[in-house]
Amino acid sequence: MICLKGRASCAPLLITVAPLRQYGAQRDALHRAPWSVRRAAVATTPIGVRVFATSVDYAGQVLPAHSPALGAKALALSATANLARMLEQEALFERANRPLMELAEMQPVTAAWWRERRKQAGEFHYLALGDSTAQGIGASVPGRSYVGQLADRIEAQLGEPIAVTNLGVSGAPTRLCVRDQLPRAEKVLAKRKPDLVTLAIGANDIAEWEPRAFHRNLITILDVLPPDTIVSELPCFHLPWNDRKVLEANRMLRTIAAARGLTVVPLYAATRARGVKGILTEFAGDAFHPNDRGYEIWADTFWPPVRAHVESARARIAT
């Protein structure tokens, strides 16, 4: 994440999709469709590249990255917006900040998408808490957030639909996660313990960094969530003045998680390793949120411990 504003025993279901460019729209429509529609696509989709019905990337098809030129443009616009803000050049700031505002306008759409997704029942239940990255801001469709891509992989692994409750809220720092998401999570947990719980929160704390508040809020959150919750580090911000805060936050997170025996996903190292190529090709037009390919890196990093939960759930479902 770049912050320039300070700020399977069960055989997987396969379908065929002929060349991805030609059938890209069809693939996207399938990705948004409910399980029953995706399953029916097996008999109707043209022959071509074999992919999972629920996840083109999990079958070995790497999600497309942006061109480096688009990435450079996004960085230039973000830097211009920062400069215009400091110089109080309102008109220039509004023009340069347009990509960020366009993504912000998608927040009600992504929230509605996940509310609709919640209606899908399933034996396996995935509960996610987080911020805009859980919602999928920056992705081509909300289902390509890391939460969506993990859900796709789990469905492909189990060969059946799963239930997903995504409580993530765009813009949420840890403080708002405690206020808004935690009470809702407690209601979900009171009904039935989910098979998988993930937490990725804290990136929005960096802009106005308050270490004591972050520490306090994270303890509050993790004291409520189940002892097998998978917790993510904050991603690399790629800028020294922000990364110093991120590293401090991650040290706190790992210490708190270790005291509770929680699994921590090494997202910082995974995103830092992407280097300049990742900066230029794996972020959305606001140079802040990941794009589809960026979220795939997140999902890849989450997947090893998530897969262990899936194997455990599959054994339980089989009995």
- CATH of residue 244: 3.40.50.1110
CA distance 35 to 40: 9
CA distance 213 to 217: 6
In a domain? residue 6 = no
200 contacts 232 by C-beta, under 8 angstroms: yes
**Contact (CB, 8 A) for 149 and 178:** no
Q: What is the mean pLDDT of the chain?
A: 75
User: pLDDT tier at 245 (50, 70, 90 boundaries)?
Assistant: very high
How sure is the predictor about 238, in pLDDT bands with cuts at 50, 70 and 90? confident
Averaged pLDDT, 86-113: 62
Residue 184 in any domain: the answer is yes
> What pLDDT is stored for residue 190 in this prediction?
94
Q: Label residue 140 exposed, middle or buried (CB < 10 Å: 0-12, 13-18, 19+).
A: middle
In-domain check, residue 193: yes
* Tens-place pLDDT, residues 256-271: 999 999 999 999 999 9
How far is the C-alpha of 231 from the C-alpha of 176, rounded, in Å?
17
What DSSP element (H or E) covers 125? strand 125-130
**What element of type H or E holds 165?**
strand 163-166
What tokens does 135 get? 């919602």
135 has pLDDT over 80? yes
How many domains does one find in the chain?
Answer: 1
Cα–Cα nearest to 228, from 318, 155, 299, 312: 312
Burial of 43 (0-12, 13-18, 19+ CB in 10 A): exposed
**Residue 46 located in a structural domain:** no
Domain membership flag for residue 35: no
Total-model pTM = 0.73
Residue 105 has pLDDT above 60, yes or no: no
pLDDT for residue 115: 86
Classify residue 7: in a domain, yes or no: no
- Residues 231-254 have a mean pLDDT of 93
Q: pLDDT tens-digit profile of 264-317? A: 999 999 999 987 676 777 777 665 688 888 899 999 999 999 999 898 877 776
pLDDT band at 112 (very low <50, low <70, confident <90, very high): confident
Mean pLDDT of 83-108: 58
The yes-or-no verdict on residue 31 having pLDDT over 50 is no
Range of the domain at 304: 68-318
Taking residues 83-107, what's their average pLDDT? 57
- What are the beta bridge partners of residue 126? 164, 196
Output 207 or 43, whichever has higher pLDDT. 207
Contact between 196 and 154 (Cβ < 8 Å): yes
Radius of gyration of the chain (CA): 19
Tell me the residue length of the chain. Answer: 319
The reply to whether 246 falls in a domain is yes
84 is a domain residue: yes
**pLDDT range class, residue 68, cuts 50, 70, 90:** low
